[in-house]
Structures are given as C-alpha cells and as structure tokens.
Structure 1
C-alpha cells in the first residue's frame, strides 16, 4: 500500500532529471541514459530501495572522487565462455550492463558463459541484468557483493559481510520472465534507508541496532546489523554469493569492502558475476516453453489458501507495478523528493512533478 506522504513523478521527468545531473558531473550523455534507464526501472518495478533513493550518493561519490564518471572498461581475461572485466571504478550500473552484454554475446553461440567483474561499484537491482539475458532466450544469473558490510557471520558480533544480492531470471512464453531477485537478509538495507528518510518504522525482525537487539527505528537499524534470512542458512547464502562475486575477479571481500555512504573518496572495488544459460543449448526452445507454461499453470492454479485471491509468480508483481507506474507516475516520498530537488537546484535541473 502506498504511503500517504508521497508525490508522483512521471518516468520521463525522472529520467530527464537524472540524465541531466549525471551529465553535469561528467558522465557522457549516452552512458548517462543507460545508467538512468537501469536506475529508474527499479522504481517503476516497485523496487524503491534500489532506485533514485540512491541517486544522491552516486553523485556525491563522483564529486568526492570515489567513483569514476568516465571509466575505460576493459577485459583482463577473455575466453570463449568466460571473461574477467575491469570496471575502472565506473558506476556499477554501466559496468554491469557491459558485463552482461558480453555474457549474452558469448552465449549467442550456444555456449553457457560467465563474466566476473572487479573495480566496479553498487550496481542497483540485480534483476535488471538477469532479465537482459531472459529477453535473449537465456536463463540469466547475476550476483554482487554488498556495497556495505552490515551483516555478521552467524554467531559473530562484527559486520564483515554484506547482504550480497543475487538474481536468476528464466524466459517464459508469457509477458514477463520468472525472476528471483533477493538480498540474503530478511529485508534489503535499501528498504531501511527508505524508511529512515521518511521517518517510518520498520518491522522488528528486519534488523538490530548497534546493541544487537531488534529495533523498529530505521535510523538505529542503519547503525546496526541486518538479519540474515533463514538464520544460519541466510548467513551461508550471503557468504557464498559474496565469494562468487569476488574470488574469480579479485574484487574486495570482507574487511576490505568500503562503505558506499561513508568512504566516498576511495574506490570500492566492488565485484559482480554474470552468467547465461542459453535455452537452445539444452533443448528445443518450443519444448522448453511448453514445459515452462505447464509449470506456471501448475503453480498459479494451485488451490488457494483462505482469503487469497491470486497466486503470483516471482517477478509478476514487479511487472504489474512497471505498467501501473508508467501510466500513473512513480511515487516518491516527500523527504526523498526534497533531497532530489535540492540536488537539482545545485545544477539548475528542476524535477517536474506528474
């Protein structure tokens, strides 16, 4: 349910605003448009924790020298089915797009392919990249190291892990792919950031304060630790995703990981891993689609619990949100709106309301 203290902004207005400000801080126009499409799509899909709520910190990091506005992205290794990419400390959205484009290109020959990345930054919503592959007839995988350490090892009292999100997207015969996109914490830290900006409480099971006790105060939660989903299973999952995202490329892990918000003058050396599994490398595409349709029908046609009107597939709510918000506008919290407007005023870039 949408909060009362929101204002709607059109997709086109938000994109114009972001592209113009990125250009003011030195990002080339074409790349600014790609980054913006990635960023605003998160808001369109209802994933507000990974949309423009992060835009001010991305700009600050460029201004402070912690992120490179004009990276020369390069390949360190390049094989038939694998590669290692150096992002030259560019914005993670751009680096991620280039890496998944490369994986898809390698996959078009019928090969499963993986691209490991180093020297990148926070790349936004992981689903953006896995869906790129799904639109090309491939199962897409994307993994990333968290941009902040805010999770302890199971039984530990020191944050040396991020919530390390990952996404897997499967092409379907329907209007949208089936998409898993999740952090390894009960809730993405970005949701806590949104709550802190708007001064709203969070569920007590999301995070602890710096004292290690559960808290509903989002500001206190940002000083503490996020709670892994499934207890020790979530800890193990975030560890594995973090290792997959860094060990193949030489990106930072553990205590070496910088803080996206606090260490804005130094490079983060964030790591990602992108993979594709071309459907036609395994079976006839039509046969795959028939199996997928039956699987989808089995799931959505299951007997529903009392009071449940509809069973959704993973990624379906986001798909529906995308259509609705394109039509009705993107809701922004009033505190976030003020922050964006203040940033725009510094560069004489207004943010038009819907």
Structure 2
C-alpha cells in the first residue's frame, strides 16, 4: 500500500536517514548487533522510499513485539550452505527476514558471477517486508532478480474453498537498465497485500468491494477491522490461487520451510517461530548479450508499450516500476510521509526503548 497522494501532501515528512537511524536505534535496544541494526533499517526504509508504506517502518512495532516475545532471534548466526554450482541455502537462525535476505542477495550475486545464474533458498527466516526490495538486490551487479516467499500468514483460500490455507505469496521481478530506472514488478497473488488491509485499519478507512469476502457468507467484506472473518481474493480468479500455490511450494517445502496449515499467523502470534522460506534468483544478463544492447532493446519495447493506443479515459499507460521510481526520487528529496496513528505508535516505541523520537531527529 502506498499512502494516497492527496493524504501524503498533508502529512509531515521524515528524512530517510533519520528513519534508518531510528529503526537501527530501536533494534540495537532490542539486542541487534550494530551492523545488523543498520542493515535492517536500510532495507525497511527502502520500502517506505519506494511507496510500499505497509511494508516499511509501519512494521517496526510488530517486529519488536515478536522479538520481545521470543518469536524471532535478535542475534542470528546466519549461515550459507552451497548445495550445487548454482544453488545455495541460507539458514536464517530465526533472524529478521531482511537480514536473511541481505545475505541471500550477497550469495546470489557471488554465485551468479561464477555460474551465470543462482538459485538461493532461505529457511528459518521471518517476514522480510517488500518483495521488490529483495528482487532489486542483484541490480547493482547488472543482474536480474526474481523473488518469492511464503507469506507470514494465510489469508487466501484455495479456489472455491473457505479455509485460509494460502498466503498472499508475492512475486517480484527486477530488470537492470543501467543508469535508467529498473523495470520492477512487485505483486501479491491476492488482489491486495494483507499489509494494505492493515494500513486501512490503521487509518480507519473502509476497503473497496472486491478485496475480501466473508469466509462464511461469501459476501463482500469492507471493514478492515473484521479482516479475521474474511479471506482475500486472488488475482485473476483461479489463476491467482494457482500461482500462490506454486510459488508457495517453491519457497516452502523445497526449502523445508512452512507452507499451508504449518504457516504461523505472525499477526496474531508473537511467540511461535514462523519458519518462513524465501527464494531469490539472480541472472547475469552479460551471459546472454551485452548489457547495453539488452537495455536498448528493452527500452525500445517499453517505448512501444508506453506510446501505444489507449482506451477512452486512460491518461497514460504505466509500466512496472515507473511509479516506484518516481516516488523514490520524490521521497528522497522531500522525505517520507507518515500518518499520525503510525507516528503515535513509533513515539511509544521510542519511549519504551529510550531512544530519540523520529519527529525530533
């Protein structure tokens, strides 16, 4: 969920550096090593900068609750096991998902430099925020990134069912474009992510029809405070349900990680280890053709799409990553807008941890 532009224009802005420092200070208070605290802050705030507002600093109070309850490990010994020339497994030791995926990104790039491609699984992990942030980890090395994960709660039923046995299991793909903006797709396999539902609940906003239905009646559910009574609808009907299933099997059972009934709802349970599994694939463009030639060809096709005929009432054709990149530039320059209910939560957290409030940095 990105904060609506009309609302964002009315909200106080906060510098990314201040937000990263705030997150890092909170995590240090909770026992993180300095390097881990800073890296977690960087990856969380990157979600805020790119408009994934329900997956950035918004999640900090929840992460802290799980740390304090013993649901995740503040001092993980994250290790890597090379399984084959192009395959590796990251063992997260129940650490914060951002830290596990940071290691997965480094490993994927290292392997892809050798083999041209890397498939890196991760297990014993936790919620990791925005999928696009991790799909973009191979971009600086000139590599395509592909990411998926078993979501940290089940909010979707198999097609035609009512039992919540599938997650929003997202798919994110990032294509490097040199000095130009990367092409980035980041989508849940449900109509919206559950983080978007949580964001509406925080702001007291009703949901549109078509996001969720009541699990008992099948009727539209628009009150985000009643989300526990509903199931999220998949994108594309049965196709979205099938995609969530297949992505979940790749990130879950293949990694000996949780899936289906084994998934722990980390929104409702702060104590139980989630056993979250992820996948990150890195593909070296240079193994196929000169990266500049690839970028030129992609640009040619994107221009064709962007300048193609539009339906009546359509102002412009938008392509994956355009809004993300524009929002990042605007927020780097102007700061990140944060709503008052979230700031109140962060202020309480600052008082509990004895750190400087975000608004005072």
**How far has the Cα of 1:325 moved from its partner?**
1.1
- The yes-or-no answer on 1:166 pairing with 2:171 is yes
**How far has the Cα of 1:173 moved from its partner?**
4.2
- Cross-structure match for 2:111: 106
In structure 2, distance between residues paired with 1:121 and 1:54: 12
- Cross-structure match for 2:327: 321
In structure 1, distance between residues paired with 2:15 and 2:206: 27
In structure 1, distance between residues paired with 2:228 and 2:186: 22
In structure 2, distance between residues paired with 1:6 and 1:109: 47
- Cross-structure match for 1:73: 78
- The yes-or-no answer on 1:188 pairing with 2:193 is yes
- The yes-or-no answer on 1:351 pairing with 2:358 is yes
**How far has the Cα of 1:75 moved from its partner?**
2.6
In structure 2, distance between residues paired with 1:326 and 1:8: 10
Normalising by structure 1, we get a TM-score of: 0.96
**For 1:3, which of 4, 7, 10 is the aligned residue?**
7
Q: Tell me: CA distance 1:328–1:222, structure 2 relative to 1, closer, same or farther (3 Å).
A: farther
Q: Secondary structure at the match of 1:3?
A: helix
Q: Secondary structure at the match of 1:2?
A: helix
In structure 1, distance between residues paired with 2:305 and 2:187: 20
In structure 2, distance between residues paired with 1:227 and 1:59: 30
Deviates more, 1:87-96 or 1:67-76: 67-76
Structure 2: 5+ residue stretches without partners: none
Count the aligned residue pairs.
354
- Cross-structure match for 2:297: 291
Aligned ranges for residues 170-319 of structure 1 at < 5 Å?
Answer: 170-211=175-216, 212-319=218-325
Q: Tell me: CA distance 1:351–1:57, structure 2 relative to 1, closer, same or farther (3 Å).
A: same
Q: Secondary structure at the match of 1:159?
A: coil
Deviates more, 1:281-290 or 1:115-124: 281-290
In structure 1, distance between residues paired with 2:227 and 2:30: 32
**How far has the Cα of 1:353 moved from its partner?**
5.8
**How far has the Cα of 1:97 moved from its partner?**
1.0
Q: Which structure has the higher relative contact order (CA within 8 Å, separation 6+)? A: 1
Q: Secondary structure at the match of 1:78?
A: strand
- Cross-structure match for 2:156: 151
- 8 Å Cα contact 1:210-1:220 kept in structure 2: no
- Cross-structure match for 1:40: 45
In structure 2, distance between residues paired with 1:33 and 1:269: 24
Normalising by structure 2, we get a TM-score of: 0.94
**How far has the Cα of 1:169 moved from its partner?**
0.8
**How far has the Cα of 1:290 moved from its partner?**
2.1
- CA-to-aligned-CA distance 1:22-57 (integer Å, 9 cap, x gap): 000001111111111111111111111211111111
**How far has the Cα of 1:3 moved from its partner?**
2.0
- 8 Å Cα contact 2:155-2:168 kept in structure 1: yes
**For 2:24, which of 9, 19, 26 is the aligned residue?**
19
Deviates more, 1:209-218 or 1:197-206: 209-218
- Cross-structure match for 2:99: 94
CA RMSD of aligned residues (A): 1.6
- 8 Å Cα contact 1:84-1:115 kept in structure 2: yes
